[in-house]
Structure 1
């Protein structure tokens, strides 16, 4: 027994030594990680950061918040909105105000025998215990009745200090190391109050003016959180990112693969590239009408191609149709008739009706919109729509392996060439996806839940951020089928994301453009590659990408406080991680780590400068889609996918023509532009209206008197009498000569 006890004691002693050794190693490892984090990552809190609820953990070392010039160090009081002031004026319960003049002196309100104070969620409350520091100032303390305005009826207050600080905003004057403007309990009251007023305070989207009656919704930095995605979707995105990073690594220069991340802001030396332009239309447009600009895009070559292929396809259908088919009435289409067909479809997009036939035959007489039958009969319109074609099927079959876009490829190639040659975008450009609604069977149909259509034909588009001008596009047809012709001399990347970006932006490199992208495309290595070709990069970033600092990859909602920013920099780029409603990570090649702000619904919101710029610049593709959604030229129901895609391309062409005209002439709304374009097309190309011969229902008859003077002879100053007159006009006329001449020359 004694020997066994000795063995047990020895074993326990060894275990204690191992545990101590392991604990020492863990502490050493943890210390190394902390030292690395301090070297690579800097952190700071914004002025509106709430107090830390978890006080057990030691707060990380934070640098002072770098504010932009002109940004207030303390959030200003909330500015009442116009609707609030109007409501208070109607109710007569507006709060008493103390307004300050330019010198900072306050003007008290007029005296009141029974004073009262209305407290709203934006009122600053000072605890009486902390008024010692204010004794030297000229403040008058009065007794007054306090009324709570804007709080829920269930809100209760206690007399202690903490309850008042929890329910009222305002900088705390206590000795706590981290002060807050919005305390713990106020956030819910403010959100409840704003939602009751119809506001949306949680969104980072900056409100823009309505686009021809359509509310603008732009992409913003904090819209989607990678951490909240499903695990299987995270795995797919992670696999795609690894492929992209591997391909970028193989094709980049060796010196591009070294990233010395540091927390020191002085390390970053990046500046924004100088835009060398020019920007705008590449041809003079002064004095041009909407139609003259539109035919620059849809010129004679593409119109003749569509006419020839449509007639060829109609002849093929006619040979295989039955005797009772509507196709037996087909006659070859002409360019003028095709333009009239375009004009009718444009008119339909201006006034949408679910049933297309009701433009000609409405279900009720008083629902008739116009004289569509005078422009083109419905049967002829339906025939052209049925036979519309863009490529010779026989030549495609002889060409070898057919591509998925062969039915519409000539139109796509033509428009890509025209869009990029007629207009040069400004400094800020954006790459994003667009989705055309298509719910039918299609092998390359895509599902994107964040888009308005959600399912359909996806296209990668490069647009100008300011106007939404579509400069270049690539239709997605499945994995490794992006219709991108690789060139061995250019050493194109194998991954889809980098290939798409470089394919779209290559003609604009070395001109000082700023490319804005979301986290599907962005990576540190791609940003450095584009920066080397004088093209800046800005946008959101997924933290699982290669070369992202390990310390930043671990940032999430659990280890970051609200309104906290963690950043890391190299000589040519900055990565910032901002904790707002979600954890937002962004990359930029020219933004320093600085914080600005913007007023929204009366509140002053602090945000990193890169977030403010991203919210303004990322809306190029979204802005274009909003304009097209207001004028649904492609319609919802279509039997053939490539014909619906053709209508979308026609719709995009109208939008681009509008941007071309608006860039050099006076302001014009897009609806007005579309109306003028459709009217000019119809006036130019619709067939002349054949008037039916005028019906003559004038007959001679005898008068009741014996002799009466002829009206026509009297006009000719000839004295002639007659016993005949016109039964309809009741005018005496000679039956020979005068009767015919009178009705022919008078026009009755």
Structure 2
């Protein structure tokens, strides 16, 4: 049988996984660029897990076995699983300069000095203000313009959407993350057990549906056919820049891949029943240990801006590490970061290149990536050794050195590092079947530090998935858009935590949603003359920022919002957007 020269399709990937019982992710490539890719074939309310259209089944795909965060496991019964692609018939060999190997390890330079993170400039920011560091007024105005332009392109009536309505729309999406409903329509249900009053009082369902239908981020007449994410590219570029601008440098950064689920709650959309397979898009990510997303780029098969020279020298996976680093701002690129990655990315040439650039790198590495000249004991031979056994070796070129530590835990693990060796030897708790108790097992320092520095992307995934936006759409790019919206909220929350805020992620999201729904929402028309004054959000009311007495628009009258006051006047607070008489103004804004 000849080797495969083209990538797998989704349909072929499903055939391969038909008889597999392990956990797998199937990464899908986005559709080819054309204006008709705004819509999918299935309804957003469709909960049938065996629906994939023909174009999706024929899309390019990549299979990855789901791995674990730590290279060591605390339970004897759980086998070690490496993250790896299915083996191909022929793997492209990376040309490497000959390395000099010695058994043992060279004394490493030690961790370089790094500035302490300083979040003081965000100290007085409210949750909404932190979120708007990423989705700022400029971006909201751009979304309004592109949505109107899309309506004209489709020859639809002018939607006349405003920035305030887009904010309410986003607020409803955020609400759907922490207060999900069986369907989008349930938020506006007339049944009291389903209806969400905050959403109903902020925007009508028909208006929400119309904005959702017209929402757009790029001009369909100026699409880049070489970029499969061209419909989202302006949004991607804006958030890439804002994430970098507000990144407070920390030394440890992990490079990994995140999955953006494409099919909502249902992981398996084909007729493979009871199989733990998830579908979605892949995003290359670099995160701090806490989970702040520093840099990212969605994967699309043949990258529209991939560095061919880096890919030829280091291989495509390893090249993604350097490509994201090249996107750092000059000020932040010149710091001495320590990067962590798993065996999908790690190569010795990559670690040497990082060292020559002034960075350090640490990652698990596959045995077949190390090379035949490596003097370490073979993995199969080490499997017969006692738990905690390890050995190390050093690979050097003309200028730099990399230490490899191979360790026997539940399985044999190899970690390569330009920063850490095996000393000082640490210990970890492991359960012993023989002794029926936990015992101390030796662990090399490099592997211990890898476990400490790796996992920032997984932490971000965990946080986002906890309150992930649940409202779905027909559009293929919708899941990526909502992921970026969730990511912006998450990054803003990380800034809030960094400056000492005790708000949980749920509280943080609720503050943003409540601010948008209350401040910019429009009450439905009802019988009689009900008050249209909504109470000001707590943190806005007492923030002492820009509260001014101003006349009510069109010289209309508004009831004073201060407790105990029944006067009706023609003045209001410019920031709280509530009616206030002059004598109550100071009292209303004082705790």
- TM-score tier, shorter chain, comes to 0.5 to 0.7
Shift of 1:414: 0.6
Determine whether 1:565 maps to 2:390: yes
Tell me the distance in 2 between the aligned counterparts of 1:612 and 1:422. Answer: 30
Determine whether 1:625 maps to 2:457: no
The alignment partner of 1:305 has SS state of helix
> Pick from 261, 278, 282: which aligns with 2:101?
261
User: 1:7-406, aligned counterparts within 5 Å?
Assistant: 219-222=69-72, 233-235=86-88, 239-240=91-92, 242=93, 245-246=94-95, 249=96, 257-265=97-105, 268-277=106-115, 279-281=117-119, 284-319=121-156, 331-361=159-189, 364-396=191-223, 401-406=225-230
Tell me the distance in 1 between the aligned counterparts of 2:353 and 2:262. Answer: 36
Contact 2:351 2:361 in 1 (8 A): yes
Tell me the distance in 1 between the aligned counterparts of 2:306 and 2:103. Answer: 42
CA distance 1:316–1:509, change in 2 (3 Å): closer
Tell me the distance in 1 between the aligned counterparts of 2:501 and 2:470. Answer: 29
The alignment partner of 1:433 has SS state of strand
- In structure 2, the gaps of 5 or more residues are 1-66, 270-274, 432-436, 531-591
Tell me the distance in 2 between the aligned counterparts of 1:295 and 1:614. Answer: 34
The alignment partner of 2:502 has SS state of coil
Contact 1:391 1:406 in 2 (8 A): yes
Which structure has more relative contact order (CA 8 Å, sep 6+)? It is: 2
CA distance 1:546–1:356, change in 2 (3 Å): same
CA distance 1:411–1:569, change in 2 (3 Å): same
User: 1:656-671, aligned counterparts within 5 Å?
Assistant: 656-671=491-506
The alignment partner of 2:133 has SS state of helix
Shift of 1:222: 4.3
CA distance 1:229–1:509, change in 2 (3 Å): closer
Contact 2:79 2:410 in 1 (8 A): no
The alignment partner of 2:368 has SS state of coil
- In structure 1, the gaps of 5 or more residues are 1-216, 250-256, 320-327, 446-450, 696-748
Q: Count residues with an aligned counterpart.
A: 435
Tell me the distance in 2 between the aligned counterparts of 1:358 and 1:335. Answer: 25
TM-score of the superposed pair, with normalisation by structure 1: 0.54
Shift of 1:461: 0.3
CA distance 1:640–1:493, change in 2 (3 Å): farther
Tell me the distance in 2 between the aligned counterparts of 1:600 and 1:552. Answer: 25
2:473 corresponding residue in structure 1? 638
CA distance 1:471–1:483, change in 2 (3 Å): farther
> Pick from 396, 414, 422: which aligns with 1:593?
422
CA distance 1:402–1:575, change in 2 (3 Å): closer
Structure with higher Rg: it is: 1
Contact 1:225 1:583 in 2 (8 A): no
> Cα deviations across residues 389-416 of structure 1 (Å, max 9, x unaligned)?
11111122xx6x4421111111001100
Contact 1:270 1:590 in 2 (8 A): yes
> Cα deviations across residues 313-336 of structure 1 (Å, max 9, x unaligned)?
1233344xxxxxxxx6x6311111
> Cα deviations across residues 273-331 of structure 1 (Å, max 9, x unaligned)?
413336355x8212111111111111122111111111121233344xxxxxxxx6x63
The alignment partner of 1:239 has SS state of coil
Tell me the distance in 2 between the aligned counterparts of 1:579 and 1:527. Answer: 23
Contact 1:509 1:535 in 2 (8 A): no
2:286 corresponding residue in structure 1? 462
Tell me the distance in 1 between the aligned counterparts of 2:379 and 2:101. Answer: 16
Shift of 1:234: 3.2
Contact 2:83 2:344 in 1 (8 A): no
